[in-house]
Amino acid sequence: MKTLVANFSKQLTEAIAIGKNAKLSASQNKISNVLICGLGGSGIGGSVVAELVVGNANVPINVTKGYFIPSYVNENTLVIISSYSGNTEETLNCMNLAIAKNAKIVGITSGGKVLEMSKAKGFDHIVVPGGMPPRSCLGYSLTQLFFVLGFHKIINTNYESELEAAVKLIDSEENNIIAEATTIAEKLKGKIPVIYATTYNEGIAIRFRQQLNENSKILCWHHIVPEMNHNELVGWTEKNDNLSVLFFLDKDDYSRNIARVDINKEIIKKYASGITEIYSKGNSIIEKAIYFIHLGDWISVALGELRGVDLMEVNVINHLKSKLSEL
């Protein structure tokens, strides 16, 4: 896992090349909405991208992380099936439902049934390298989502140049990122992390939570400002030295959210064992997101090493899948 995280920028570079060479076809119908289907490491890219493009996407983009699709899906819907293995049962069920609705389908996968079905039915598909844990391949799936949305003129940002700039950013910052990740991991050892971010950065917070779950083998939770100001903030009433709070912050964030975070920190510091502020770097929202993702991945690796756990194993997930296969 450590090697896979270290190679993230190389993965992004390869993913950009794959996206540029993707063979996609225009939809016969005007696209009125987009649905991204995927779970876990395959699905988190959808959550991140949907938030990053919300300011310029010309149709609604939704993400589903389960067995079913919304009733609005029809021949005017672009359905992106994101399954790294190609065999995620929930995503396959969504794919079959989307086929029945005559949606425009694009698959992003390394193989499996998604690739088989896509080839058999003539659906557009982008194949990414396989054989790795899905959570370590976010660079592949996230990048392809930009290219698919760009091809269908759903977004009009300079996503390609911004992705390339993100590669340069994390390469230039790699040593600093690892050093910061190590320091933060030491603060988190023996604690339950509470992760906070602001609007449109929830995908980043979820990704970090998932990496702490799978790589570091710990429980944690996340919430978003300002929503948590209307509920969770009230729960901070008792001193708990087991809780360590992390804020994912951006100096260019909306001024009201910046003010909210400052007030939140004043309240929370009385009850948590500590507060860590993590600031983004980069000139665009894509660069900042990639930076946050990479830093979070390194934190999860460093914390896993401090805890002496096997970063790669996910035996409980394999057990779950095995039990489900018996039904």
pLDDT band at 175 (very low <50, low <70, confident <90, very high): very high
Average pLDDT value for residue range 27-45: 97
Average pLDDT value for residue range 174-187: 98
Mean pLDDT of the chain: 97
For 190-206, what is each residue's pLDDT tens digit?
Answer: 999 999 999 999 999 99
Fold match flag (2-157 vs 174-307): yes
pLDDT reported for residue 157: 77
Helix ranges restricted to H, 30-137: 40-52, 89-100, 112-121
pLDDT band at 90 (very low <50, low <70, confident <90, very high): very high
**Residue 83, helix vs strand vs coil:** strand
Both tokens of 137, joined, read 């391949």
Average pLDDT value for residue range 143-167: 96
State the catalytic residue, choosing from 20, 230, 251, 323.
Answer: 230
Residue-range domain boundaries for the chain: 2-157, 174-307
Q: Residue 89 above 90 pLDDT?
A: yes
Quick check: is 230 catalytic? yes
pLDDT band at 156 (very low <50, low <70, confident <90, very high): confident
Tell me how far apart the alpha carbons of residues 36 and 83 are, in angstroms, rounded to a whole number.
10
Q: What is the pTM of this model?
A: 0.97
| CATH code of the domain made up of 174-307 | 3.40.50.10490
pLDDT reported for residue 78: 98
Quick check: is 214 catalytic? yes
On whether the 2-157 domain is CATH 3.40.50.10490, my answer is yes
pLDDT reported for residue 247: 98
Tell me how far apart the alpha carbons of residues 46 and 60 are, in angstroms, rounded to a whole number.
13
Q: Residue 111 above 90 pLDDT?
A: yes
Helix ranges restricted to H, 189-228: 202-211
For 262-291, what is each residue's pLDDT tens digit?
Answer: 999 999 999 999 999 999 999 999 999 999
Average pLDDT value for residue range 119-139: 97
State the catalytic residue, choosing from 104, 214, 217, 281.
Answer: 214
State what percent of residues in the chain have pLDDT above 90. Answer: 99
State the catalytic residue, choosing from 10, 168, 270, 321.
Answer: 321
Q: What is the dihedral of CA 70, 99, 74, 104, to 10 degrees?
A: 110
